[in-house]
Amino acid sequence: MTTTTTKLPPNPIHHFYRGGPAIAKLRGFPLESDHTPEEWIGSTATLFGESQRGLSALPDGTLLRDAIAADPVAWLGAAHVERFGADPALLVKLLDTGERLPVHVHPDDAFAREHLGTKFGKTEAWIVLDAKPGAQLRLGWRSDLDEETLRAWVDDQDRDALLDALNPVPVSAGDALFVPAGQAHAIGEGVLIIELQQPTDMSILLEWHGYADDDHAATLGLGWDLALSSVDRSARDPESLRGPRPNEAIAELLPPAAAPFFTAQSLDTAGGQLPLDAGFAVVLVTEGAGELAGKQVARGDALVVPHAAGEVQAEGELKAIVCRPPRSNGG
């Protein structure tokens, strides 16, 4: 199986919320439904409770998951494999919100291991590629919240109270935010983001009416008593979760707290040539055209770069986002 840098075919995901036109336009594929608001890029993960949906394929039809399993060291590097096995420990998505997402939260690693039987929780980060004027996200409680109040809001499905209790965060293209597991959040309408996250699909929907079939599904089958114990009820300043604005040709986009989970760099060749360090990466070309790892690329192309490719070069007039797993010593 190939372990060369490879352009990835589209992998759109049908979901319960509306969206998708901005992804289809960026990636250059026809939109088949107005409920296709996500694309999973370079994915070896599946939707919660499913065995296949979500997995990315290489151009020859081989699932990336299977290609990595056949030669994990070539794809991921020995240090990464020693730590995580044949799992990239990363899921990259495009999200295009045609409506506001419900208020929800994701479990952390410890909760996921104990109660859901998974290796990973779901810490994530958002890099805004485009946003309509006035678009905003909601992230973290504005003040400390007691258990009884949260439970009452959820039982009553008081969406106004849930939403108003969260910090409003206006966003525009170029903003980046780190979202630790346990932080309640909601993504507003009219936002196109690239999301880095741990490789799971676990959401507890605090605001579930109209989104999930029932509150059993909204709690991942755990019930509210247990599910709500995953929620961080402390106040959080969302500004502390912002990443820096890029000011160099290769720039870190996320705050240091994200590094144990994933990293993201912006890349701007500006007519020159730039090196990409060796290591597994998922790359999305966001503007322009040029060459990456010897392949002609243009806006909307998504690529997976194996560790075995070593240091590769990007050149031309292109901008890209480079998404990587947690760094491992020697990896």
Q: What is the DSSP string of 77-115?
A: -HHHHHHHSS--S-EEEEEE-SSPPPPEE---HHHIIII
Contact criterion met (CB below 8 Å) for 77 and 307: yes
**320: helix, coil or strand?**
strand
Q: What does residue 273 show for φ and ψ, rounded to 5 degrees?
A: -130, 135
Contact criterion met (CB below 8 Å) for 35 and 14: yes
In this predicted structure, what is the pLDDT of residue 32? 87
Residue with tokens 């020859």: 60
Domains 9-241 and 250-324 share a fold: yes
Superfamily of domain 250-324: Jelly Rolls (2.60.120.10)
In this predicted structure, what is the pLDDT of residue 328? 66
CATH of range 9-241; options 3.40.50.300, 2.60.120.10, 3.90.1150.10, 1.10.10.10: 2.60.120.10
What are the residue boundaries of the structural domains of the chain, listed by start? 9-241, 250-324
In this predicted structure, what is the pLDDT of residue 296? 97
Bridge-partner residues for 136, per DSSP? 170
Closest CA to 8 of 51, 46, 52, 61: 61
**327: helix, coil or strand?**
coil
The single-letter DSSP state of residue 271 is T
Per-residue pLDDT of the chain (331 residues; tens, 9 = 90+): 568 999 999 999 999 899 999 999 999 999 989 999 999 999 999 999 889 999 999 999 999 999 999 999 999 999 999 999 999 999 999 999 999 999 999 999 999 999 999 999 999 999 999 999 999 999 999 999 999 999 999 999 999 999 999 999 999 999 999 999 999 999 999 999 999 999 999 999 999 998 888 888 999 999 999 999 999 999 999 999 999 988 899 999 999 999 999 999 999 999 999 999 999 999 999 999 999 999 999 999 999 999 999 999 999 999 999 999 998 653 3
In this predicted structure, what is the pLDDT of residue 181? 98
Enter the pTM of the model: 0.95
Instruction: Enter the tokens of residue 310.
Output: 């070593």
CA distance 125 to 178: 4
Residue with tokens 């959401």: 203
Q: How far is CA 201 from CA 50, 107, 193, 196, in A?
A: 10, 10, 17, 12
Q: How far is CA 99 from CA 19, 136, 188, in A?
A: 7, 12, 7
**178: helix, coil or strand?**
strand
Bridge-partner residues for 284, per DSSP? 302, 321
Bridge-partner residues for 314, per DSSP? 274, 292
